[in-house]
Amino acid sequence: MIPAAFEYSRATSVAEAVDLLRRGGGEAKVLAGGHSLIPLMRLRLAQPTALVDINGVKELDYIRMEEGRVRVGALTRHATVVRSAEVRRHLPLLAEIAGEVGDPQVRSRGTVGGVLAHADSAGDYPTLAVMLDAEIVTDRRRIAARDFFQHLFTTPLAPDELVCEVVFPAAPGPHRYLKFRRRLFDWAIVAAGVQQLDGGWRVGLTNCGPTPVRATAVEAALAQGATPSAASAAAADGLNPSSDLRASSEYRRHLARVLTRRALEQAA
């Protein structure tokens, strides 16, 4: 399967990337790790007429700790997040999630910014971003994660807008992310994440709808002293996940409850 032809250009700075995207009109797309875009192009589900390769934009490849926040540059590879001592110390859940994205080959190439911009409902970082109230910083504005994931594959990004970084609060406390899948390297059929932060629990669900879900009913029950088992009964309230070949809607709702309970019980 051969992708359709396109114009190729390489950017070495954020400014140059935005300029190249602008010159490509609405048809140019960013090429980061390519691990969502190239599969779509091979199937010709995506046929961009121009690609702007940002792999040379070194200024977007960093992890920085700053005033209780963890700032991750958009071009940071999954493998780099896994190995980062800073992330392991200040936001271990992010490192653990990164280690569960795809397989070693996917983690060599795929980027944090690419997962966010792609906004797949099975993407793992979007859930963490929403449950921790992270901020997505582009070349021109800051967008709260809860406003960023608008629908399946849909974000407020303009065609010439570049995701530059994501800013998480540091959260070294108890946490767990449980991903249910048939094969180790697969995307989540459903996943549940829990993180203790500021004395309370944050709870998020992956692939239970077109966007990541923050399970606020579970958070509220826990705040009132409910056990993990009692609180997780509310995990699927109000959710109507779609059915597909891998799981029915009802099974996904069941997984949401079970995985939330297990994540709370196993959080460490």
Ligand X SMILES: Cc1cc2nc3c(=O)[nH]c(=O)nc-3n(C[C@H](O)[C@H](O)[C@H](O)COP(=O)(O)OP(=O)(O)OC[C@H]3O[C@@H](n4cnc5c(N)ncnc54)[C@H](O)[C@@H]3O)c2cc1C
Residues that bind ligand X (CB under 6 A): 29-37, 39, 74, 101-102, 106, 110-111, 113-115, 117-118, 123-124, 157, 162-163, 185, 187
Q: Which stretch binds other proteins (CB under 8 A): 21-29, 30-38, 126-134, 194-202?
A: 30-38
Q: Are 176 and 127 in contact (CB under 8 A)?
A: no
Residue 114 binding result from ligand X, other proteins, none, given CB thresholds of 5 to 8 Å by partner type = ligand X
- Contacted entry of ligand X, other proteins, none for residue 8, CB cut-off 5 to 8 Å set by kind: other proteins
How many whole angstroms separate alpha carbon 240 and alpha carbon 212? 12
d(C-alpha 23, C-alpha 49), whole Å: 12
106 binds other proteins (CB under 8 A): yes
Q: What is the distance between the alpha carbons of residues 61 and 136, in angstroms, rounded to a whole number?
A: 15
Helix (H, G, I), strand (E, B) or coil at 69: strand
Among the listed residues 12, 16, 38, 197, the single contact to other proteins using CB under 8 A: 38
Q: How far apart are CA 67 and CA 147, in angstroms?
A: 24
Taking the alpha carbons at both ends of the chain, their separation in whole angstroms is 45
Cβ–Cβ under 8 Å, residues 106 and 185: yes
Per CB under 8 A, the list member of 25, 26, 39, 159 interacting with other proteins is: 39
Among ligand X, other proteins, none, residue 118 binds (CB under 5-8 Å by kind) = ligand X
Tell me the number of residues near other proteins by CB under 8 A. 34
48, 34 Cβ separation under 8 angstroms: no
- Per-residue binder mask for other proteins (CB under 8 A), 162-201, x = binder: ---------------------xxx----------------
**Nearest distance from C-beta of residue 194 to other proteins, angstroms:** 23
Q: CA torsion, points 259, 79, 63, 164, in degrees to nearest 10?
A: -90
Number of neighbours of residue 232 by Cβ within 10 angstroms: 28
Site for other proteins in 47-86 (CB under 8 A): 51, 53, 55, 77, 79-80, 83
Choose between 47 and 248: whose C-beta lies nearer to other proteins. 47
**Residue 128 near residue 136 (C-beta atoms within 8 A):** no
Degrees to nearest 5, angle at CA 95 with 132 and 64: 75
- Tell me whether residue 16 or residue 133 sits nearer to other proteins (CB atom): 16
Binding residues for other proteins, rule: CB under 8 A, are 1-8, 10, 31, 34-35, 38-39, 41-43, 51, 53, 55, 77, 79-80, 83, 102-106, 108-109, 183-185
